[in-house]
Amino acid sequence: MDKILVHGGHPLSGSIKISGSKNSALPILAATLLTKEPCVLRHVPDLSDTNYMLQILMHLGAEVERASGTVTVKAEKVESTAPYDVVRRMRASVCVLGPLLARCKEATVSLPGGCVIGDRPIDLHLLGFEGLGAAVRVEAGNVRMFTTGLKGAVLNLRGKFGPTVLGTDNVMMAAVLAEGTTVIEGAAAEPEVVDLANFLNKMGAKIEGAGTRRLIIEGVKELHGTEHDIIPDRIEAGTFLVAGAVCGHGVTVTRVVPEHISAVTDALTEAGFKIETTENSVTVSPNGASKALELSTQPYPGFPTDMQAQMCALLSTTEGISVITENIFPQRYMHLAEMKRMGAHIQIEGPTALIQGVEKLYGAPVMASDLRASAALVLAGLKAEGITEISRVYHIDRGYEHLDEKLGALGAHIERVKAD
């Protein structure tokens, strides 16, 4: 098992090209199961999560080829069962449920289990499938679904903490082959949902309203193969911009869609940083003393929960008291205990973190608890005095393509070593 050593105090500068979106690639890979014809996907990031999804597709019978970020999937024959040994390592594996149900008229997929940032249940996914006419049973850790034919319906997928992104993806993928018209109210509007809808439409689906809270899906009899470019990863882009804010002299991210990260750039502007934007790049630079912030995570286009931990790292050394409220996953503060080990002054009151900025952080041994928490600890280490030793960095490899190498290219002193 690897760990990462971050030698703090070295300024960052330069530009980095952003990889394809993990949260877009995973459901789009699952969607290739909806057709017998080949699908070619470009800008698929090289991550443990995408590798796991490709393993799941192969287990289900698909032929997979991968070369230099391009993946070709041909699912001429498909099995309808994905056991626990196949899906246990990744929660997003549940997004094969919709395609299997639509294509095979049945699906048995093991539940991948909980998550360190909360239970993240799939109740709304199953509610949507039932609304389309599927019989759904959850037994012995498996979801079993059967249908004689899916029928269009009016569904509402808004949950307690807002719309469900994977649930919207999953039900949309099932509905494209349902008879009649499906209306999804309370749909997620994230760019990754739009990317999936665009991919499905290229395959012959008829989806309107992607990017709004109301999707209209006219079912078709079959889909065909296509080619598609995965959108840039807005969370990776936001992470590098926050890294530039933490200790940069001017950091540029390229191959981005600036609109997708406007909530992050707005927050950085409010915090006192200079933001410059072109059609496909964003640059962050220092602009005098930074300022404390009040932030609340919200569904897109609000401030993303996946950037909350990284902002905590930035604000930990920003003068004044910053307030962050986590409205999507209220338990998502595991990184704060580790940042306290580095000298951060943070108090948690329910879903709210009160961050009293300190003059400096100090390197310490810390442990990553999840994907975004691990990125936040790396960012904190960039600012800290001394060496920060981060364990469990397999979390980083789930969602960041060569994070240590990219930061090194910007001037960070960072190394990956084997754990004892």
Check if 312 is active-site: no
Q: Span 367-388, mean pLDDT? A: 95
Instruction: Catalogue the E-assigned strands of 319-364.
Output: 321-325, 345-349, 352-356
Please state whether the peptide bond connecting residue 301 to the residue before it is cis, i.e. omega within 30 degrees of 0. Answer: yes
CA nearest to 198, candidates 189, 213, 208, 188: 208
Q: Which one from 39, 95, 104, 115 is the annotated catalytic residue? A: 115
When pLDDT is cut at 50, 70 and 90, the band that residue 114 belongs to is very low
Task: Average the pLDDT over 107-118 and give the result.
Answer: 66
Model confidence over 245-255: pLDDT tens digits? Answer: 999 999 999 99
Q: What tens digit of pLDDT does each residue of 207-233 get? A: 999 999 999 999 999 999 999 999 999
Asked if residues 370 and 395 have their Cβ atoms less than 8 Å apart, the reply is: yes
Give me the pLDDT at residue 113, please. 55
d(CA 123, CA 207): 23
pLDDT at residue 119 is higher than 60? no
pLDDT of residue 120: 53
CA pair distance 247, 360, nearest whole angstrom: 12
How far apart, in whole angstroms, are the C-alpha atoms of residue 387 and residue 391?
Answer: 13
Q: What pLDDT, on the 0 to 100 scale, is given for residue 1?
A: 76
Domain 2-19+232-418 falls under CATH 3.90.1150.10: no
Has residue 116 got a pLDDT over 50? no
Answer yes or no: CATH 3.65.10.10 is held by domain 22-229. yes
Secondary structure (DSSP) of 204-251: T-EEE-TTSSEEEEE--S-----EEEPPB-HHHHHHHHHHHHHHEEEE
pTM of the model: 0.96
| Backbone torsion region of residue 70, taken as left when φ is above 0, otherwise alpha when ψ lies between -120 and 50, otherwise beta | beta
If one counts every other C-beta atom within 10 angstroms of the C-beta of residue 185, the result is 13
Residue 328 token pair: 């999507």
Query: What percent of the chain is modeled with pLDDT above 70?
Result: 98
DSSP 8-state assignment for residue 34: G
Per-residue pLDDT of 236-275, as tens digits, reads 999 999 999 999 999 999 999 999 999 999 999 999 999 9
Domain extents in the chain: 2-19+232-418, 22-229
